[in-house]
Amino acid sequence: MSRPAKSILVWFRLDLRLDDNPVLTRAVETGRPVIPCFVWSPEDEGAWAPGCASRWWLHRSLDALGESLRERGSRLVLRRGEAGRVVPDLVRETGATAVYWNRRYEPWAVGRDGAIKRRLIKEGIEVKRFNGCLLYEPHAVRNKSGGPYKVFTPFWKACLQRETPEPLGLGDTRLRSPNRWPSSPGLDAFALEPRANRAAEFPHWWSPGEAGARERLERFWESGLADYATERDFPARDGVSRLSPHLRFGEIGPRRLVAKAGSGSGADAFLRELGWREFACHLLYHFPETTDKPLRPEFAEFRWRQDKPGWSAWTRGRTGYPIVDAGMRQLWRTGWLHNRVRMTVGSFLVKDLLIPWRDGARWFWDTLVDADLANNTLGWQWVAGCGADAAPYFRIFNPVLQGRKFDPRGEYVRRWVPELKLVPDKWIQNPWQAPNTVLEEAGVVLGRDYPRPIVDHAEGRRRALKAYDLIKGSSGAAGA
């Protein structure tokens, strides 16, 4: 009697796809039985376990991956618990002689995965790890001194000088199954779904899973890529790809995007945004403390404020600044926020209100379907002026000017702040300055239908600059 073929345990993480997935392709190429698994381990991730919106997405993405694997004659084994215990247990239960996975670069994952690798190798298990989520691994890109980059432009130039790997295709290959499958609970056992009313609108906006990623990609390539460079800053227009959550959960890989992009101003601008994603991961890998501490050490002494009314108004989209409120309401209802508006609402929180950037990062972490630790950290430290490649602290976004420049006809505001829908374009970004007759004709009573500004921007700006001067010993002034 022939002995059972030695199987490979393929550990899926944030790479929930079949196409261009090195861990799966390389395992299938061996010709050995493959046991795909996913371990739900929020205990490992601690404070950075997926938030509410991310868990909603994860549930549907795992469901889609399971269906894709079934179509290939396989299945997805689900387990819950600390991966350092669950993965070795699965190895013993299945008799697998190898474990393959794609790397993750979050601080908690680097240490955990290293410990699991050492344990498995000690037990005689083959371990192979791959790069499935980035174009260039963060440890591979170094400056001339051999250290990490802290400025985006030279980092991206260095990346562009490197060869970009071609995407891997799995074709129509069916996965070879083991003689016996291990037990697996249903996906509902993970209790990932938020309460029904919290994510009620999400299905209208999103189709999680690899098929949804391909559909989104094709739609953007056909109608948005050519004009991306000029349209990407206007939140009322369909000028961005909205691929970020699909990238976050690995339903599509960056190599596939590069291979498809081609050339042209739109493609170049889009690829540069992929570069920022790479840069964010590069920074988090080399400076893991930045999830909670500013990269620029002088900002550790910055005097933030505690402002519960201001925080409540910001999170609820009731600040009295229409572009800010539109963004925060879009975020709550759809789980996503346009990047231009992310910068505007972020600046308002940390500079107009002087509320710590870490609080904003935590809110985004819970409410964004594309919540990514590296991108989230880079974005909030950038807008707070305390991180790498940071805009000068004294660059304080004026929410009225931002609205007038990037939502000149108020289409974005009217969509998400419908109580202002009849306010003329001239006043849509600053209704508190409109003549009473204009507000009466629009049916708006400030303080009843829509709040007055919770802070005067000019005063908030002066207060922020004063706080900045206390740690820098110098002053500056600029507006955006």
Q: Return the H-helix or E-strand segment holding 79.
A: strand 77-80
Phi, psi angles (nearest 5°) of residue 479 = -125, 155
Q: Is 363 a catalytic residue?
A: no
Q: Return the H-helix or E-strand segment holding 478.
A: strand 478-479
Residues 273, 311, 411, 432: which is the catalytic one? 273
CA distance 183 to 81: 15
- Token match 């889609």: residue? 64
Residues 40, 56, 314, 357: which is the catalytic one? 357
The amino acid sitting at 312 is S
CA distance 213 to 204: 15
Q: Is 304 a catalytic residue?
A: yes
Question: Where does 362-419 show beta strands of DSSP type E?
Answer: 395-396
The amino acid sitting at 277 is R
Residues 67, 205, 339, 411: which is the catalytic one? 339
- Would you call 267 helix, strand, or coil by DSSP? helix
Write the DSSP symbol of residue 348. I
**Distance (Å) of CA 312 to CA 84, 349, 418:** 39, 11, 20
The amino acid sitting at 200 is A
Q: Is 181 a catalytic residue?
A: no
Residue 113 has a CB neighbour count (10 Å cut-off) of 23
Contact 141, 149 (CB under 8 A): yes
Contact 74, 175 (CB under 8 A): yes
Q: Return the H-helix or E-strand segment holding 100.
A: strand 98-102
CA distance 254 to 244: 11
Residues 365, 380, 416, 427: which is the catalytic one? 380
CA distance 280 to 287: 10
Q: Is 357 a catalytic residue?
A: yes
- Would you call 128 helix, strand, or coil by DSSP? strand
Query: For the chain, what percentages of helix, strand and coil (3-state, to nearest 5) are there?
Result: 50, 5, 40
Sequence-distant (6+) residues with CB within 8 A of 167 are 19, 20, 253, 255, 256, 259
Positive/negative CA dihedral, 57, 58, 59, 64: positive
Q: Is 276 a catalytic residue?
A: yes
As given in the structure block, the two tokens for residue 361 are 């990062």
Residues 276, 363, 382, 427: which is the catalytic one? 276
- Token match 């060869």: residue? 163
Q: Is 101 a catalytic residue?
A: no
Instruction: Name the residues annotated as catalytic.
Output: 273, 276, 304, 339, 357, 380
